[in-house]
Every structure is written in C-alpha cells, then in structure tokens.
Amino acid sequence: MAGKEGPHVARQRKIGSCREDGGEMCHHAPMNNECWFLSFVEKNKKTLGVKSKSRQKISSPTSTALEKRILLEHWDSASFSIVDEANQFSSTAAAALFLRHLPLRNSALFVVKAMEAADDGFRPLDVEAVVEYIKDTPALLALLGEQLEGLSVKEVGDGNLNFVYIVSGPGGSFVLKQALPYVRSVGISWPMSKERTYFEMLALKEHGRLCPYHVPEVYHFDRPMSLIAMRYLQPPHIILRKGLIAGIEYPLLAQHMSDFMARTLFFTSLLYHSTLEHRKAVAEFCGNELCRLTEQVVFSDPYKVAQYNRWTSPYLDHDAEAIREDDTLKIEVAGLKSMFCERAQAMIHGDLHTGSVMVTNDSTQVIDSEFAFYGPMGYDIGAFLGNLILAFFSQDGHANKDDDREAYKRWILKTIEETWDLFHQKFVSLWNENIDGHGEAYLADIYNKPELQLLAQKKYMIDLFHDSIGFGAAKMIRRIVGVAHVEDFESIADTSRRAFCERDALNCAKTLLKERCKLETIGQVISVIEETSARLAVEIGRACYHHEVPLVE
C-alpha cells in the first residue's frame, strides 16, 4: 500500500459515508478524519483491543493517549491486519495508522509525530485540495488575477522530500511546495520535520535580498500547512541536472553560480557581520532538523552497513565494501562531519547540487533551500562542484556513435574551473570593498597592514578551497553508495556501463578527499579528474573489446 512515494494520504471520502455516534449520516463533506477514526475504532475494537466505552473518551483522535497506545501496543501484532482502508484516508496520520507491515517499530513513533502535527492545522494536499486551498487564500487568488476558470494544477515534484505543484491559469501562475512529515522518496518509515519549509522560506528571502537575479521570489508562506508559494520559473527553464544529462552547454552558468555563492556566503559571514548579528542569525537556524539528515546520509551511512544504502550491484559490491573498510577515508570524513556540525561560518543553502538549480541559456535560479543553516561555506561550494564532477563522469554512459561527449566533457571541466576562479575573485573583491565595515572576523585595528590583510585572505581562501574539495568529494561518494543517487548515472540504461562510470567517479572522489590538502589550485583538481577519466576510457575500451560492455547505440 505504501510504496516509494508514501501512502495515499490525500484521497477524499465520499459525502454520506460517515456516521456520528452510530446514528445518522455525518454532515461532514468530505468525511473528516475524526469521524472516520471513531467509527473505525468501534468497528474493529476487538482486533485493536479497545473497549467500547473508550470511544466516548476520544475527543481529538489526532493526539490522544488512546490512539498512541493502540499504535505502540499493536504495531507489530499479526492481528493488526486492516490495511485496505488506509487508501481512503485524507491525512498522513490516519493513513499511517494502518501501515503495520513496516519492519521498523520506530515507524510508530513517526505516526505519533504525524498525529501531533495534525493538531496545528497541517493536512497534506492533492491536486483537488490545492484548488480549494487557493480559493480560501486571497493572496494566491490575487496572483491568478482572481480567475479560477481554466486553472491547471500539476504535481511535478521529482525530489526526495516534497510535493511540488505548478499552478497556472489565464491570469497568472506560481509554484506551490508542501513538505510532508517524512522523506517522500523512502516513505513514512523515515520521519522528517515539516518545519523545514520555515527555514526554506527564511533562506529564500535572505538569498533573494542578497542575490535577487538568481533566486525566485516568495509570494506566500503558511507555516501550519508547511507550504510555500513562489515564482514559477517558466519554460525553457529546466533543472540543471537534466540539462547536463542532455549535453546542453550553459555559457553563463559559472558566472551566475559564482555570483550567487560569493554574495550569499560573504554577506552572511563574520567578514560582514558583527559577532552579535552573527549569533542572532545562527540561532534563528539552529532548529533546522534537516541537518541531522545530512549528517546521516553524507557523513555516516556510506561508511557502514546501513538500511537505505544501495549501489549498482553486483558490479560495485567490492567498491562499497572498500569504502566501509577504508580507515583513512573515515578519518577524513570525520573531520568534515565535525566541521559541518560545529562551524557556523555563513548561511549556506545546504543542498546546492545540480538538482537545486534551474537554468536557461541566460538565466540561473537557485531553489530548494530547505536545508539552509549556518554552516561551513565549503559545503555549498563543494556540493555544486562535486555534482558537476559527477556529471562529467556520467558522460561516457550517455555517449553514442553520433556524439562521444568529449567536447561536452571539456565544457564541464571548463565550467568547474571557471566557477571556482570567479568565486574566488568575487569573494575577495567583496571582502576588500567591505574591509573597513563592521565585520568582526578580522578587525581593522589589528589587521592594519596591507601585507597582513593579504596573508589573512590567502590563508582563508586556501582553507576554503580545501574544505570545498573535501565536502564535494563526500557528496560524490554518498551519491554512489548511499541512499539517494543522481539521475546522471541512474539514467544510464546499461548497468555494467553505468557501474564503470560510477566506479571512476568514486575513485576520483576518494583521491580528492584524501589528497585535497596537497592541492593548491583548481587546475590541479581538474588534473585529478582527467587522470581518473583516462583510466576509465582504457577500462571501457578493454571491456568492449572483450564484449563485457556493449557500446550504446
């Protein structure tokens, strides 16, 4: 019943299907969750072990002790077998109640959280419910020119966490994004705070203020509903990752992304903030629980046997095991994890991969900032560069007899190099322009000589470079042997060919992670990528000669 996309949580029950207290048909239309739950408990009280009189004690079935007791006492019970009804529920809490077949007992704890979430006004939306929500929200109606006739609502979310709706009509358009209290790509067995939309809203607004040309505007935010409305990035905007898979060059990508990263990172750091301002800003983002998810899936799970890890098996079985047995790698990753958890250097996007960027030839827009918090700058820079490196290694899997993708691979390497070089240049320029401002990282009366300022900048930037390469490598590893993979590789149909590409990306990442402090320029990083790629070409050629890997037609 609950597949990869989670339970059917948004279906509406038909009018007249609800009875109140065993009497007349309920007047609720559609039947609400409370009425259905009460009738269900009564109908199945023997299975659930609930006495009849308990029904009268239930005042709010989304948060009662009785309901929690049912969950915790009967979650793993073989007799708790009524699951078909869950397809008809209209809330996460009610549907989740019947997922007794999930193997993890702590899933019950999630349901309790979901029930508590329902108390503060949360309800998941489907297409029909989106229309009703718009009708009741004047700010959204205004964006559509008060016109609902001819309205189109389409669910387009292809990420790991949220539902995303494109709402368009004759009078206007916008995007509506809603967070569920679990990881969408896994299901309700992996609970997730829906408060992430609050932090996404804060980050979008702050990033929009600092870099308005590259961030969509926020139109509306509903905290109880975990819902954001923002500007619709109309076609020909596409997700950058999809453009990279298609082999499309974006001439302004490095220019735009370096601008976004330089401005958002510099102006939220102690290079610009006073320590008091910085602490207040850090405190604002301390509650973002998505940091915990990053700690798990990036810095922990790939290096141990973990429930949700996966890789291209059997081809990468040995590679995944080698990661888990590599002590040097583990020590390096531990250092990165400590930095991620402890260093509130700037407000970072927190998930700045190529799936969080939408592009055209002359526009670059950064979206999906729900992981935002105050952390190490290198995590953002590394995430973007690391995903470009993954795109580079995937190209041999997309090559065919008409396009060997070699020219495109050169463009990707050029973009990686230009992105860092331009970022470095812009970041230092912002630093110099504000060197006499109120930033308290390097006080002017202490760092009062030009040569000392240059020395401080040089050390700061080389440390940031090493951080970025390390985080980028960690992000690459997790996308190959962790829980959430990338379409760059997943879209390569031939499994053995995909594994060749993934293995070399993995080997490149391991080298970069272990040797990053020996690298001083982005050109040296490019050399590591090229050397690894050259070995890949030899291996694929040898495999093709022995008919182990078919050429893509």
Q: Where are the domains of the chain?
A: 33-119, 127-230, 285-347+374-433+446-545
- Give the pLDDT of residue 159: 66
Pick the CATH number of 285-347+374-433+446-545 from 3.30.420.40, 3.90.1200.10, 3.40.50.1980, 2.60.40.420: 3.90.1200.10
Instruction: Write the single-letter amino acid at 412.
Output: I
Backbone phi and psi for residue 357, each to the nearest 5 degrees, phi listed first: -130, 130
Give the CATH fold of the 127-230 domain.
Answer: Phosphorylase Kinase; domain 1 (3.30.200)
**Cα atoms in the 13 Å half-sphere on the side-chain side of 259:** 16
- Give the pLDDT of residue 2: 36
* CA dihedral over 473, 156, 137, 169, signed as positive or negative: positive
d(CA 534, CA 22): 74
d(CA 85, CA 61): 17
Cα dihedral angle (438, 439, 442, 447), rounded to 10 degrees? -30
d(CA 79, CA 13): 26
SS3 287: coil
Q: Are 377 and 407 in contact (CB under 8 A)?
A: no
Residues 6+ apart with CB under 8 A from 365: 214, 215, 216, 233, 237, 357, 358, 359
Q: Are 96 and 83 in contact (CB under 8 A)?
A: no
Residues 6+ apart with CB under 8 A from 280: none
Which residues lie across from 218 on neighbouring strands?
A: 230
What is the chain's alpha carbon radius of gyration, rounded to the nearest angstrom?
A: 26
Residue percentage of the chain with pLDDT more than 70: 75
Q: DSSP readout, 523-553?
A: HHHHHHHHHHHHHHHHHHHHHHHTTSSPPP-
Per-residue DSSP letter, 219: E
Residue ranges of the chain with pLDDT lower than 50?
A: 1-34, 36-37, 40-41, 44-117, 549-553
List the structure tokens of 1: 């019943």
Residues 6+ apart with CB under 8 A from 409: 392, 395, 533
| Burial environment of residue 337 by CB neighbours within 10 A (0 to 12, 13 to 18, 19 or more) | middle
Q: DSSP readout, 39-52?
A: HHHHHTHHHHT--G
d(CA 530, CA 52): 71
Backbone phi and psi for residue 420, each to the nearest 5 degrees, phi listed first: -65, -45
Residues 6+ apart with CB under 8 A from 337: 295, 299, 300
